[in-house]
Amino acid sequence: MSGVEALIQKQARIGADASLAYMAMISNTDVYNDMLANGASPREAAAVTVGSMMGMFAVDKYLHLGEVFFDELTAAD
């Protein structure tokens, strides 16, 4: 793999990770609101929401669930 190809793959991975982080943030907005609605303080709700976002990001990234549906990062044979 040439240096240019490696750079392109690195940039693609950064873009994919940014997309996963965005999906995790958008998917967890209800967590914060539900925590507040059920009596949690804003600080407690934020802590649970951040934990949920980190968990969702990690599952999506390291189990590659997103790539099952969006397979642009895998070389086509």
How many independent structural domains does the chain possess?
A: 1
Q: What is the pLDDT of residues 31-63, one digit of tens each?
A: 999 999 999 999 999 999 999 999 999 998 888
- 74 falls within a domain: no
Cα 15 to Cα 33: distance, rounded to the nearest angstrom? 28
- 54 falls within a domain: yes
Domain interval for residue 27? 3-69
pLDDT at position 77, please? 47
Q: What does the radius of gyration of the chain's CA atoms come to, in whole angstroms?
A: 16
CA 50, distance to chain mean position in Å, is: 12
pTM value > 0.75? no
- 76 falls within a domain: no
- 75 falls within a domain: no
Q: What is the DSSP letter of 73?
A: T
Check whether 65 has a pLDDT greater than 60.
Answer: yes
CA 24, distance to chain mean position in Å, is: 5
